Each structure stands twice: as C-alpha cells, then as structure tokens.
Amino acid sequence: MNADKRAAIYARLAQAIPAPTTELEYQSPFELLTAVLLSAQATDVGVNKATRKLFPVANTPAAMLALGIEGLEPYIKTIGLYRSKARHLIETCRLLLERHGGEVPAERAALEALPGVGRKTANVILNTAFGHPTIAVDTHIFRVANRTRLAPGETVREVEDRLVKWTPKAYRMDAHHLLILHGRYVCKARKPLCEACVIADLCEYPARTNQMPAPLPDAAD
C-alpha cells in the first residue's frame, strides 16, 4: 500500500468519524487510567457501568487507596479478573502517591512501572489524557491494520511501529481512535461489514465482499 492510499484511508475515516475518542467514561487522567486498567478482557460498556458507581466514591488515588482491596472489589466484581485488577489498582494508587504526588505521570517509563500497565495502556494514556501522538494497538487495530494492509505486521509492536512510521502527521493524534472505532463497528472480526465501509475501494483485503465505498456524511452536517 502506498502513501497516497494510506492518506486517503485516514481522510475518509476522519470524515466518517469526525470526533474520534475513547468510549470509556472519565473526567481526569486518573479516572482514565483506572478505566483502562479495568478494561482488559472486558467491554467498555461493562467498565462504564462499574465506574459510574465507583468514581463518585473514589476518583483519586488517595480515595481509592482508602477503600482498600476489599472495599474496591464490590464495585468492580462484574468485570472479568476483578480480584487481580483490584490488587493492581490499589498498588498503583500507592505508587502514584509515593512517587508522583498523586498525579498520573505523562512519561512512558513512569507509566509502565505501574502494576498492570504495559506498552498498550501507556500509549492510551499518553494519547488520550496527555495529547501525545502515540498509537496503542489492540485486537481491533491489529486486525484492521493487517486486513486492510494499512500497516501489516506479525506482532503488535511491528504493527505499532509501522503505523507510527506510515500514518500521515495530520492523522497521528486521532489514528488510534479512528482505527479502533472502525474495527469495532465496521471491520468486525468474524463478519466485516464491507457494505457499510467507507474505505471498501481502498482496502486490500482479498476476501472483502464489497468494493464500492459506503457514502460519507456531508462535511457540512
């Protein structure tokens, strides 16, 4: 895939999704970090249901640490792996208070030193909370990048590095959310909705069921 086609793909996705952002509900970097940590092997809908009850009670590291593991677990027990997530969250709160004055750090190394925070989570926080042009690669983005041939790779890191290298600068800030939303709602895993795809004619997926792009919304709307 050449650079012109990649730019055209991003341009169309940006028109189809004019305000791309996370579907996790949050009001601060700490709330976002909490939601992202809870979202592993869980849906955003499920996480939001839990945090709508949790955040009014504890939405700072100090307040959550005061809850403790036993106090936190009832709020997140509907989420998969909630016991290990509770341990990670409480330890994260302790470290945020001890090392960062209760603030979420805006540096990759400091983020990745927190329990349960790997490269993908750090990329999400850096991009969504702090405006860094990072591109976190989850299962949706890995699938879209490989299926369309936008940035094919055998590993998550390979896909990430190619997306960072090949994504036009104008779209780098929003690339993560553009691709994740396209993968979540259109380029689905089992049955991609090619008839609803605005980049069907640009996609290089051999098994696509449609080669005509879906209409784009009017830019004036």
Residues 5, 138, 191, 201: which is the catalytic one?
138
CA 35/CA 31 separation, integer angstroms = 6
The answer to whether 138 is a known catalytic residue is yes
Residue type, 115: P
Question: How many Cβ atoms sit within 10 Å of the Cβ of residue 192?
Answer: 23
Residues 49, 120, 165, 191: which is the catalytic one?
120
CA 102/CA 105 separation, integer angstroms = 9
CA 169/CA 28 separation, integer angstroms = 26
Per-residue three-class SS string for 180-198: HHHHHHCCCCCCCCHHHCC
CA 204/CA 221 separation, integer angstroms = 30
The answer to whether 120 is a known catalytic residue is yes
Active site residues: 120, 138
